[in-house]
Amino acid sequence: MIPATIENANIESFDLMPSPDEIKYRVPLTERAADTVLAGRETLRDILDRRDPRLFVVLGPCSIHDPQAGLDYARRLKALSDEVADTLVLVMRVYFEKPRTSVGWKGFINDPRMDDSFHIEEGMERARRFLLDVAHIGLPAATEALDPIAPQYLGDLIAWTAIGARTAESQTHREISSGLSTPVGFKNGTEGGLDVAINAILSASHPHSFLGINSQGRSAIIRTRGNAYGHLVLRGGGGRPNYDTVSISLAEEALAVAGLTLNIVVDCSHANSYKKPELQSLVMADCVHQIREGNQSIVGLMVESNLVAGNQPIPDDLSKLTYGCSVTDPCVGWPTTETMVRRACAILRGVLPQRHTAGDGGRGQ
C-alpha cells in the first residue's frame, strides 16, 4: 500500500483562492483607471526610448499597511506631481509584498490584518481596491513582482514593475518579467554586482514558456513575447553605494557591452543610503548634479517616502500604530519629500529638454 504521506507531508491545508476573474469582478477596472495606467506606461516607455526628456521618480512608502494613510499620501503626491509635471514624472510606489531574509511581516497581501492570520484572499482584493483608488486619483503605480501569481490579479493596475535584488537571479521572475505589460527595472544583486541584473534584462527580453495560472485560476502554460523595456536599477550592495559617477560609468560600460540601452534608475534607498533614510536626499541631489553636468543615462530615481519619517515596530495593539509611518524600512517624511522633489525640479527644469540631443540616444553599441 502506498503511504498517504508520500506527498504533501508538510501541508496543513489547501484553502481555495478566488480566481483573478472573481477578484476583478468584485473590483472591476474602470475606464478612468485604465486611462491612468495606460498613460503612465506610455510615458515611461517614452522616457526609456528617449522620446520624453523628463526624469521619472518612483516614490512612496516602503510598504502599504494602512490603505487610509496610503491614499492620504497618494492625494498629496498627485498635487506635487501636477506641480512638477513639466520636468518630473512621479510614480507612486505601491508595494504589497515584502521579501524576507528570515522572518517578519510579509506584506499587505499575505497578512492584511497584521496578526499572522494570513487572509491572502482578503489581502488580494483589498490590494486591488487600493490600486484602483490610486489610479482614480490620477497617479501611475509601481510595485515589486514577488509572487508569480499576483500579476494575474493586479497587473492591469500597474505602470512600472521592479524585480528586487533577491529575485533578479530567479529564473521564475525573469520569465514573469518577459510577459509583464509594464517596463521592468531589475535591481543589482545584494552584493553589488551588475551581472545578475544585466543577465535578467537580457533573459526577460526573450520569449519564455512556463507554468502559471490563467484568469480563471486554472493551471496554464504561459507563453510570452518578451519584454523590450527591461532596465537596470542601481541600489548599492556589499555595504557600499553605487550611484557615484565612477559606478554609473561602469554600469554604462557593462550595459553597452551587453548591447543594452543605457537606461539606469538609481534607488536612493537601501545600500545607496547605507539604509539611513535621511541620506536619500543627498543621493538624489548627487544624481541630479550628474544630470546637470551632462549625464545621459540616469532616467529615473527611487525614494522610500511616507507621511511620517522613520519606521515603527508592529504592536500587538494595532490602534497604537503611528499614522503614516512605515512598519518596514524607514522612510523620509512628507516635508522632506516635497523639498527633494521641488529642488530636483528647479535644477533640472532647464536641463532635461537638452538631454539626448546628440549621439546614439543612450543605446549601447
Q: Assign 2 a pLDDT band (cuts: 50, 70, 90).
A: confident
What's the pLDDT tens digit per position in 171-206?
999 999 999 999 999 999 999 999 999 999 999 999
Residue 2 in domain: no
Grid cell 521618480 is found at: 57
CATH number at residue 137: 3.20.20.70
Q: From CA 102, how far away is CA 292, in angstroms rounded?
A: 41
Q: Is residue 7 part of a domain?
A: no
Calculate the average pLDDT of the chain.
95
* Counted domains in the chain: 1
Which whole number is the average pLDDT over 334-347? Answer: 98
In a domain, 186, yes or no: yes
171 closest CA partner among 128, 211, 111:
211
Cβ pair 132, 31 in contact under 8 A: no
Given a cut of 80, is residue 60 above it in pLDDT? Answer: yes
The reported pLDDT for the residue numbered 357 is 60
Q: What average pLDDT does this structure show over 43-68?
A: 98
Note whether residue 3 is domain-resident. Answer: no
Give the pLDDT of residue 355.
85
Lookup: cell for 116: 499572522
Contacts of 320 (CB under 8 A, 6+ apart): none
Of 253, 265, 233, residue with least CA distance to 364: 253
Question: Is residue 87 predicted with pLDDT exceeding 70?
Answer: yes
Q: Which domain holds residue 69?
A: 14-47+54-354
Question: Does 229 reside within a domain?
Answer: yes
| pLDDT the model gives residue 364 | 45
Per DSSP, the residues of 166-227 read TTTT-HHHHHHHHH-SS-EEEEPPTTS-SHHHHHHHHHHTS--EEEEE-TTS-EEEEE----
Tell me whether residue 252 is in a domain.
yes
- Percentage above 90 pLDDT, the chain: 92
Task: Report pLDDT for 359.
Answer: 40
357: left (phi over 0), alpha (psi -120 to 50) or beta: alpha
- On whether residue 9 sits in a domain, the answer given is no
pLDDT of residue 361: 47
Average pLDDT over every residue of 224-248? 97
Asked whether residue 1 is assigned to any structural domain, the reply reads no
96: three-class secondary structure by DSSP: coil
The grid cell for 142 is 509601481
Residue 141, beta-bridge partner list: 92
